[in-house]
Structure 1
Amino acid sequence: MASPQAYDAIHDYLVAAWGAATPLAFENDGFAPPSDPEHWIYVEIVGDLLEQESIGAENRAANLWREAGTIYANVMTPRGAGTRQARVYAQQLVDLFRGQEVGTVTFLDCSIGASEPGDADGSYFRMTATIDWRRDL
């Protein structure tokens, strides 16, 4: 999982920038999906690695270290409602992060669908936007 520093920067930026277009839910936050299916976003913030990027400092911890990961923004759409609105929300999410730097977090490649088909489960269809990020320490 992402470090607390990366998670907090991403979470706080997204909550402030997204507004009230749809509800946002984060991992294990107690969110209950609406009883009447409507669009909402389930956000997962994953850290993949912490890697040493430079050498030569007197002590190893003083070198440049890089944390990297991905935001999975799962656009949850009422089943049978089509995918157009999900694509609109996914594009808006990607646009919030594309080319941005928030604190020490830099956002990189983005994808809508991440080369995977959407998935229908229960009352919802899921379309995932992914945003890659890195943080230098």
Structure 2
Amino acid sequence: MESELADLVSSEFDRQVKLLTSIKRIGITLATALIVATGGFSYFSNAKQVSRFIGICPTYQQFGTSVHIKGGINRNGDASLRSLLYVASWSALRGNTTCKECYARLKANGKPSKVALIAVANKFVKQAFAVIKTDAPYVDGFVSVRQTK
């Protein structure tokens, strides 16, 4: 069934599959799942909306000014896609430079491993959204420069 779904997605969304698989450590299975779940990223205007839809966006709860509850991810979206992103984040630590730097920075700041891996999965979503919206293949280690007015 996965191969049939991959064939269907690659015939309809061929360009997007090629762009998503240009990101290191994103394979055909994760690319297909991202395209199917997000409608080819056509329903969203920014990466934060995609993260929120999938359910890997961090949430915080605050009541008043003094009571703070420890946050977590919202878990509103597709659980199987979230688990695919989490497992892919393990692999990203070995091959994706940006994700490796993100994980190392968070671990150096004292974050637990699972929290850092969810942040890497969120980074994957941001990379995927950027690649699709700019219609350009992924360049490992690319840093965008903001233009100041």
TM-score by length of 2: 0.30
Where is the helix percentage greater, Structure 1 or Structure 2?
2
Where is the strand percentage greater, Structure 1 or Structure 2?
1
